[in-house]
Amino acid sequence: MIQNEYLIQELAEKAGISLRTIRYYQQEGLLPEPINRGKFAYYNEDHLERLMLIQELKKNYLPLKEIREQINSLTPQQVQSVLESRKVENENKPSLDAAFKSKTVQPGSTEALDYISRLLNAQSESRDPEPRKIQAPPNRHDEKVRYVAGTPSESWQRIVLARGIEIHVREPLSPNDQKRLEELIILARKIFL
Kindly report the CATH number assigned to the domain that includes residue 77: 1.10.1660.10
Domain check: are 95 and 173 in the same one?
no
Instruction: Report if residue 89 sits inside a domain.
Output: yes
**Which pTM does this prediction carry?**
0.50
Domain check: are 115 and 164 in the same one?
no
Domain check: are 116 and 160 in the same one?
no
Domain check: are 74 and 166 in the same one?
no
pLDDT, position 106: 45
Q: Could you list the residue range(s) of the whole structural domain that residue 117 is in?
A: 5-102+111-126
Instruction: Report if residue 148 sits inside a domain.
Output: no
Domain check: are 118 and 176 in the same one?
no
Structural domain count, the chain: 2
Domain check: are 115 and 172 in the same one?
no
Q: Which DSSP string do the residues of 108-122 spell out, in sequence order? A: T-HHHHHHHHHHHHH
Alpha-helical (H) ranges within the chain are 8-15, 19-27, 45-58, 64-71, 76-92, 96-101, 110-126, 175-192
Instruction: Report if residue 141 sits inside a domain.
Output: no
Domain check: are 78 and 170 in the same one?
no
Domain check: are 82 and 9 in the same one?
yes
Instruction: Report if residue 77 sits inside a domain.
Output: yes
Q: Cα(96)–Cα(117) distance, rounded to whole angstroms?
A: 6
pLDDT, position 43: 93
Domain check: are 119 and 164 in the same one?
no
User: In whole angstroms, what separates CA 158 from the centre of its chain?
Assistant: 13
Let me know: does 47 contact 39? Beta carbons within 8 Å: no
| Tens digit of each residue's pLDDT (9 = 90 or more) over 46-61 | 999 999 999 988 887 8
Domain check: are 84 and 159 in the same one?
no
Let me know: does 156 contact 135? Beta carbons within 8 Å: no
Instruction: Report if residue 18 sits inside a domain.
Output: yes
- Blockwise average pLDDT, block size 10, the chain, 193 residues: 82 93 92 89 92 88 87 88 78 49 47 71 56 40 42 72 83 85 85 77
pLDDT, position 127: 53
